[in-house]
Structure 1
Amino acid sequence: MQPSSSNEMWEGWSTMSNQVYNNPKVNLLMKSRAVQYLNGHPVVALAVMLFCAMAAVPVGLFVLFALVTLVMSAVSFLFFEGFLLFVGAVSLTCVLIGVAFFSVVASSVVAAFYVAISTILNYYYPHLTKTEKEHDKDNGDKMTHNSTQ
């Protein structure tokens, strides 16, 4: 390394640190009791700095785990809800097909009974199913039939 480049680096570093220390927020922080205590006890400051640096990785991993778990549970909830809706829709479709089949069969059975019963009634009791005109005509025929005898 050349001495001029290290001097330039040192000057750049010192101007950057002066800008940071001259910031009013940093200046207010540097005047706090905790920072003044750490300035007076460098070993404790080193321990706090190491603790913060070493705790950042586990805390970051935990936050990452929590976020991934949250996203996965939301996505799996959506997939599970979609699956449940699919199962419900298939079940509803099966039930509606069964109801339609039952209604067709039941109406066919009722229609068959209706036809059978009406045929039996027409055969054994024809006077129950005749209209009024036919009934009057039959009565007139009987009267003429009775009078001719």
Structure 2
Amino acid sequence: MQSSSSESGADFEQLKKRWTALVKHFKDDPRVARLLNTRLGRYLSSHSFVALTALMFCAMAAVPVGLFVTFAVVTMMISAVGFVFCEAFLLFVGGLALLWVLSGIALFAIVASAVVNVLHVTTFSLLNRYYPHLTKKGVSEGEKTECETSTEKDSKAN
């Protein structure tokens, strides 16, 4: 049991080092630094839930918007041949379809980022509680964990 805990701790540390190196690489990029120094960049840096929601929405909205633009160009080419009324109707229907798809994607992005954030908070809370030596803060020498202090209280009560 102890060896699997140390293996998972080593894996966690290795994953943390790779993640830290990747984040440092992105932050060192001058274009990213220039973006993070803007008002919007500072806001998104301090509000990770909003940033994750916006990122997921933009990534998932690219395909429907691209398809709609392609659809619009094709219908304009058809209208050049003489189908003006058909184009207006098709663009209206396509615009309504795009509105519904983007609304659904926005709702999904909000729900998915909420789930990811809940999992993130839960995972790190559990790690801090049961494996404090894996976190940066850890338990200092001489300090007692919450588990140790609660067992002392129980033994004093008996």
Same fold (TM over 0.5): no
Ranked by relative contact order (alpha carbons within 8 Å, sequence separation 6 or more), the top structure is 2
TM, length-normalised to structure 2: 0.35
Larger of the two Rg values belongs to structure:
1
Structure with a larger share of its residues in helix: 1
TM, length-normalised to structure 1: 0.37
